Amino acid sequence: MSEERLSLRIKDLSLEQRQIFLIEYNERKRSYGIYLILLFVFGLFGVHRFYFKKYATALLMAILSISWVFFVVAFLWVCIDLFRASTLVNKYNEKLFEEVMLLVKTTSKDN
């Protein structure tokens, strides 16, 4: 998510809420660069999917990559993930944005 969009979407929060939001969001958001590094270096073993907490598909990729028969399937899966990299990172960060926004709004109401 771009800085401009982020600023527009959090403008209704109080200063304290914004600070809490930015700290939490920045600690938990995923990086496109790190995703690509994981994909290129450990992609066949599904490590890039662990990065997005997609444990089931990560384990499936790891199991597929062990067998030579299914190695091709795992390789094709990595190629598809490569083309979808930007979308996957943005989708994860958008979902994270909503989760953190909800967290900040509900915890500030409790105080």
pLDDT recorded at residue 81: 92
Based on the structure, what is the number of domains in the chain? 1
Q: Answer yes or no: is 45 within a domain.
A: yes
- Answer whether residue 70 is part of any domain: yes
In a domain, 84, yes or no: yes
The domain of 81 spans 28-98
**Is residue 4 a part of any domain in this protein?**
no
Q: How many CB atoms lie within 10 A of CB 49?
A: 25
pLDDT tens, per residue, the chain with 111 residues: 667 777 777 888 888 888 989 899 999 999 999 999 999 999 888 999 999 999 999 999 888 888 777 788 888 989 999 999 999 999 999 999 999 999 998 886 655
Pick from 32, 31, 9: which is nearest to 22 by CA?
Answer: 9
pTM, 2 dp: 0.79
Residues 6+ apart with CB under 8 A from 7: none
